[in-house]
């Protein structure tokens, strides 16, 4: 009997090695789930299975457990290779009539292997010729879950659509020095950094739109407490001259009304006070001031000495979490208690090229936009 017990252990161990070997062999198999051999004690043939001191009858395989964790996604060169991130399976059918599966859903097969191609009728199939099943959609993209359908790749070319809007999200590196040289897209020393994206014309042809950012001299912006002594709300003049060193005459106004002056170029054009602190505007030094109400309000701000214990430098936190390092300046007018806070803002000019062609026109005029 002891011989049989030893043989059962060897047999179970051999099967466990087979499972491990199979895992290694399928290390590169897409969608494969590794197996884990679970040993079990054989005691059911003992004379008294309920006895605490039973010897048992050896070892056996209880189950080969499959690891259902999700693997990592990898990129391939095949546009029809698909992957499911998270829970889910691809549904496959063996037989179809046109685009309708002939099998019942209970006979469908499921896999995590998303390596697909198309057959002669543009139906999406896997490497074994099984059809990818899903729900049909109409021309407007409305999906019907009442019936199953074999997914088919539409071979009709899509209508050309001109690019009309573009969004670029990036961080501008403000550590460099301002650049005074005229912009030239062929000379890297004339701009600070650049980025590119693909756009399409009315014929569907793609083009490369490149945008260039050139750091220019900073602008000194001034913020005034809406109520002197209350630092929870500030007002600033959207028509501060971003090409000058300060306000009109470079001095503090005697009243807040004096803040509204006709500067040569505005620092803000919209009515949203905290959008960009009003730093986005026209950049032509000779243009007229922006019309309309020039005063914007920043509500819900906090102002703390930074570092604590002094009354010169402060950290101004806007209600959207933006933090600015500002300096306090007091009025030089005798008897005036007015206080303002100075912020030196970095500025960049933006230029563009399409397929390498400079589309900025005359760069001495309205050819760029300041950020």
The pLDDT tens digits for 96-107 are 888 889 888 888
pLDDT score of 146 more than 90: no
Contact 284, 364 (CB under 8 A): no
pLDDT of the residue at 366: 30
pLDDT of the residue at 227: 85
Tally of CB atoms within 10 A around 79:
8
pLDDT score of 182 more than 80: yes
pLDDT of the residue at 281: 30
Contact 30, 115 (CB under 8 A): yes
pLDDT of the residue at 251: 54
Q: Summarize pLDDT for 24-72 with one digit per residue, the tens.
A: 998 888 888 889 999 988 776 556 767 777 777 788 888 899 888 887 8
Numbers of helices and strands, H then E, in the chain: 1, 21
Tally of CB atoms within 10 A around 213:
17
pLDDT score of 288 more than 70: no
pLDDT bucket at 91, cuts 50 / 70 / 90: very high
User: What does the alpha-carbon distance between residue 4 and residue 1 come to, in Å, rounded to a whole number?
Assistant: 5
* Beta-bridge mates of residue 136: none
Contact 345, 222 (CB under 8 A): no
pLDDT bucket at 365, cuts 50 / 70 / 90: very low
pLDDT bucket at 347, cuts 50 / 70 / 90: confident
Q: What is the mean pLDDT of the chain?
A: 79
Stretch 161-186: mean pLDDT: 89
User: What does the alpha-carbon distance between residue 357 and residue 287 come to, in Å, rounded to a whole number?
Assistant: 27
User: What does the alpha-carbon distance between residue 288 and residue 271 come to, in Å, rounded to a whole number?
Assistant: 18
pLDDT score of 179 more than 60: yes
Contact 343, 221 (CB under 8 A): yes
First to last CA, the chain: 88
pLDDT of the residue at 159: 81
For 19, list phi and psi in degrees, rounded to 5: -65, -45
pLDDT of the residue at 316: 94
User: What does the alpha-carbon distance between residue 193 and residue 214 come to, in Å, rounded to a whole number?
Assistant: 7
Instruction: Please give the helix or strand (H or E) that residue 35 lies within, else none.
Output: strand 35-42
Q: Where does residue 39 rank: exposed (0-12), middle (13-18), buried (19+ CB within 10 A)?
A: middle
Whether the pTM exceeds 0.85: the reply is no
pLDDT of the residue at 226: 86
User: What does the alpha-carbon distance between residue 149 and residue 136 come to, in Å, rounded to a whole number?
Assistant: 6
Q: Summarize pLDDT for 223-262 with one digit per residue, the tens.
A: 888 888 888 899 887 766 555 444 444 456 666 555 544 3
pLDDT of the residue at 257: 55
pLDDT of the residue at 363: 36
pLDDT score of 285 more than 60: no
pLDDT bucket at 289, cuts 50 / 70 / 90: very low
Stretch 302-313: mean pLDDT: 93
Contact 247, 240 (CB under 8 A): yes
């Amino acid at each position: 009997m002891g011989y049989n017990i030893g043989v059962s252990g060897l047999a179970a161990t051999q099967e466990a090695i087979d499972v491990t070997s199979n895992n290694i062999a399928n290390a590169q198999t897409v969608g494969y789930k590794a197996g884990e051999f679970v040993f079990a004690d054989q005691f059911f043939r003992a004379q008294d299975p309920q006895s605490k001191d039973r010897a048992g009858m050896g070892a056996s395989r209880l189950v080969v457990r499959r690891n259902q964790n999700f693997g990592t996604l990898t990129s391939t060169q095949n546009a029809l290779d698909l992957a499911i991130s998270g829970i889910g399976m691809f549904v496959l059918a063996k037989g179809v009539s046109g685009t309708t599966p002939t099998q019942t859903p209970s006979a469908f097969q499921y896999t995590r292997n998303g390596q697909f191609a198309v057959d002669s009728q543009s139906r999406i199939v896997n490497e074994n010729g099984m059809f990818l099943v899903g729900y049909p959609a109409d021309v407007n993209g409305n999906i019907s879950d009442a019936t199953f359908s074999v997914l088919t790749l539409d071979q009709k070319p899509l209508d050309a659509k001109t690019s009309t809007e573009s969004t670029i999200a990036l961080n501008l590196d403000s550590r460099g020095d301002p650049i005074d040289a005229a912009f030239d897209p062929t000379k890297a020393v004339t701009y600070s950094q650049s980025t590119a994206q693909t756009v399409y014309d009315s014929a569907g042809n793609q083009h490369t739109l490149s945008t260039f950012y050139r750091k220019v001299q900073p602008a000194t912006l001034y913020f005034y407490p809406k109520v002197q002594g209350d630092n929870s709300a500030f007002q600033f003049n959207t028509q501060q001259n971003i090409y000058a060193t300060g306000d009109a005459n470079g001095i503090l106004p005697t009243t807040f009304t004096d803040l509204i002056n006709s500067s040569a170029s505005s620092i803000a054009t919209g009515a949203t006070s905290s959008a960009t602190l009003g730093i986005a505007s026209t950049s032509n030094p000779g243009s007229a001031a922006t019309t309309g109400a020039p005063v914007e309000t920043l509500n819900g701000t906090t102002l703390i000495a930074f570092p604590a214990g002094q009354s010169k430098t402060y950290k101004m936190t806007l209600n959207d979490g933006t933090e600015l390092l500002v300096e306090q300046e007091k009025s030089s007018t005798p008897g005036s208690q007015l206080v303002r806070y100075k912020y030196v803002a970095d500025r960049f000019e933006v230029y563009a090229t399409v397929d390498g062609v400079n589309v900025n026109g005359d760069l001495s005029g309205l050819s760029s936009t300041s950020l």
